[in-house]
Structures are given as C-alpha cells and as structure tokens.
A and B are shown apart, each in its own frame.
Chain A
Amino acid sequence: MEHLELFFKSIFIDNMVFATFLGMCSYLAVSKKVATAVGLGAAVIFVLAVTVPLNWLLDQYILQDGALAWLGEEYAQYDLSFLSFIMFIATIATMVQLVEIIVEKFSPSLYNSLGIFLPLIAVNCAILGGSLFMQSREIPTLGLSLTYGVGSGIGWFLAILAIAAIREKIRYSSVPPALRGLGITFIITGLMAIGFMSFGGMLTGGDEEKKEEKPVTEVAIKKKTEKTSAKEMVAENTNIN
C-alpha cells in the first residue's frame, strides 16, 4: 500500500516535469519526435531506477549524520552530508557509464535505441533531482526508494511522451510566428501542468493519512470535500517539497 501510494504520487502529483521542472532542458530539446522521446524516457526510467536506490544506500550508510556508526563507536559523530552533492553526482556519472557498457554488451538492440541518450542523462537534472528529493523527503527504506525512482522515471516518461505527441501534431496548426517552436512548447507545458495539478486532490496530505491508514472509501469522500481547497493543497504540497 505504501509502495502503491508513493508510486502514484511520484508519477502524477510530484511529477518531475510538471511539479518541479526537473529535466526541462532535455525535455524541450528531445521532444520533437515521439520515437526519440520514447528512447530518452526509457533511459531516464532505467537510470533513475538504478541511481536512486544506490544513492539511498550511500546516504544511509555514509553521508547522514552519524551514518558511519557501523564502522565503530569513534566514527559515530561524523556528519558528511555536505559531501552529498559530489557523491551523488559521481555515483550518477559512473553508473551511467557502467549502464552504458553493460547494455552495449548484453543487449545491442537496446543500446542502439538508448545509446546516444545515455551519456546525456548524466547531466539531466531529473536524475540528480531524484536523488536529492529522495534525501530531502527522507524516504525510509531501500524498497521505497526503488519505487520512488521508478515512479519518478515513469512520470518523466509520460510527460515527454505527451509533449512530443502534441508537438508532432502542432506542426499542422497555424501558431503565431513569434510563438512557434519554443514559445508554444512552454505554454503547452504550462497548460499540461495545470491539468496535472488536478491530481493533487488524489492524495492530499498524503503523509498524515498514511499513518492513520484510512479505508479507501473514506478517502474518496474526503477527496470530494477537499476538491474546493485543492489549489491551496497543491500549493502546500509544493511548498513542503
């Protein structure tokens, strides 16, 4: 249940692109064709699923305040969390390289479709963002961090797939010249983000409800009553995040 909730939350409510604007650069640059967008999206899911749990382990056993306690008493007072940026990005860069080598060796066809995108991904903000959010939201277990990684990846995949499909179609419409290309993409993304905000009502105040273990029906009723205040809820959610 916990997994399912986190999974849907990270796909729809905390969607990487629409709620936090992560990975916007590649989202805008590689969304001209659906086929390439699918390739990049798949690579992002893959890399997030690998790096978020890995960075969770790093965070838990090396970086956190007192995390080094497993080495012995005298190490317990160290707090290495200021190193997290450098550790996370180093992990991501090496993992991307490793993943590239492994995929090339075992599945040349997958490599051909993902190949060019994998190196790009090392500097995709969505990947580092996934790890940093995992750290700042204090995800408690390794399994949940995997769920979070996969969920965020799928959310990003959905977003780039949708915008690529829209951009393929929009070529046939008469957009005002000055808005063509980048401008209209921004505005469409904005409108899509407004649409995605309505998912905010799905799990409002998720963290408090998780502890109370409310039955589903009650949540559904609650959702209706809270619909009016969904806007504030989303604002609150984004603030917390």
Chain B
Amino acid sequence: MGLLSKKDAVLLSDPLADNNPITIQVLGICSALAITAELKASIVMAVSVLFVLGLGNVVISLMRNIIPSKIRIIVQLIVVATLVIIVDLVLKAFAYELSKTLSVFVGLIITNCIIMGRFEAFALGNGPWRSFLDGIGNAVGYGVILIAVGFFRELLGSGTLLGFKVLGDSIEKTGLYALGYENNGFMLLSPMALIVVGIIIWIQRSRNTSLIEEN
C-alpha cells in the first residue's frame, strides 16, 4: 500500500462488505433493482454510478467550503444532474440499445440516495482525495451487489450471461436443456429482484452476525 495509507484503504474496502451501501446502509436501491434482469445492463449501471459518484464526490469536496449550507441540496443536485446528463449522452451515442433498456433509470441516478448520501455524509467534510476513494469504494460496493443480482437473474431467468447461451440453447434443446432443464421465467420479473437481494442480505448477515438488527 505505497499509495494508500491504512486509513484510506479502509475507505475503499469497508463499503465492499461490512458497510455495503445496498445491504447495510440501504441506499441506492431505487434505481438498482429494476435494471438487473440482464447482466449487461447491471454492469453499465454500475459503471455509470462509479463515474458519477467518484467524480461528484471530488467536485463537492472541492466546493465544500464555498457552498452555503442552506442551498447545498440544490448545489448537489445540479452537480449530479450535470454528470448524469454526460453519462446519458454518452450512452445514447455509443450504446443506444442499452440506453433504451435502461430508459428512465439513467436519469434516476440523480436521485439515487447513495449519491446524495455520500455527498452529505462524506464529501462535505473531507478532502478531495479521500472523497474520491470513498466514492469509488461505495460505487464498487453498489456495483458488486448489482452485478451479483444481474448474474443470477440472467442465468436462471434466460439461461444466458451477457447474451451468451452458457447453458445451451433452450429452443434446440442442447446442453442442460437436453436433460429437461427449463428457464425460470419468473426470475426476469421485477419481484424476484427484491427476493434475490433479500437472500443476499440473509447470507451476509448469517456469516457476520454482528450485522443482525433488533427487529
């Protein structure tokens, strides 16, 4: 850890597990669940949030001493909205199909609680480098859950990963399908995202009992 001091490394590693934004802080669930039916969309969403949160944290942190606290919410919203517009335009230019699948959920990164939450809780009180690390750490923690949910939903729901037919062809009955395996179409519907996240939380808390809530 030449570049990172121990304290900084914690900023990066903590949100990955014990302080995960989705499963522990309960932030950013809003736009996370609806787009996880496909792995590809989950990855794009995770990368977009990484970009917005990493950069946004730095910008807010640089401005933290000149923002009057009364109007800080508006300032934060403008910063996020600008970054999200950049993401949206880039997606429309280079991955038009994908931006159609994500539809309004790119725009909803603006009100993704994880972003406002990190601005409020961290970037307003810390220097740019530490804020950057915090942003990256939290965005990666968010992305890990998103990609895990996307992985299981796409694998079990349509038998593909990133569009590749990893389990064989369901129409020509090759691979696993020859043995009578069927896709679980239910995994593609929105309620299953909630249940998959619920199960992830369950597993995480069974492994680390200190996270268990008092009802």
Contact = CB atoms under 8 A, between A and B. Distances in A.
Interface of A: 18-25, 28-29, 82-86, 88-90, 93, 119, 122-129, 132-133, 135-136, 170-171, 175-184, 186-187, 189-191, 193-194, 197, 231, 234-235, 238, 241
Contacts of A85: 81, 84-85, 88, 107, 110
Contact of B191 (A82, A181, A197): A197
Contacts of B30: 21-25, 125-126, 129
A30 B77 CA distance: 22
Interface of B: 23, 26-34, 73-74, 77-78, 81-82, 84-85, 88-89, 103-104, 107-108, 110-113, 116, 185-186, 188-195, 197-199, 201-202, 205-206, 209, 212-215
B11 to A, nearest CB: 22
Nearest to A29: B26
A177 B201 CA distance: 12
Tell me what chain A mostly uses at the interface: helix, strand, loop, or mixed: helix
Contact of B111 (A83, A128, A135, A184): A128
Contacts, number: 155
A179 B89 contact: no
Taking chain B's interface residues, is the majority helix, strand, or loop, or is none over half, making it mixed?
Answer: helix
A180 B26 contact: no
A83 B116 CA distance: 20
Contacts of B209: 177-178
A231 B190 contact: no
Contact of A128 (B33, B103, B108, B213): B108
Given A24-B30, A25-B28, A125-B30, A18 B190 contact: yes
A178 B206 contact: yes
A186 B85 contact: no
A100 B32 CA distance: 29
Contacts of B206: 178
10 contacts: A25-B28, A25-B29, A88-B107, A93-B73, A125-B113, A179-B201, A186-B198, A189-B194, A190-B192, A197-B191
B78 A90 contact: yes
Contact of A178 (B27, B190, B212): B212
B195 A124 contact: no
A186 B213 CA distance: 14
A93 to B, nearest CB: 5
A21 B23 contact: no
B189 A82 contact: no
Contacts of A24: 29-30, 33
B192 A28 contact: no
Contact of B190 (A19, A86, A125, A187): A19
B201 to A, nearest CB: 4
A22 B108 contact: yes
A186 B215 contact: no
B213 A180 contact: yes
A184 B199 CA distance: 9
B85 A86 contact: yes
Contacts of A133: 104
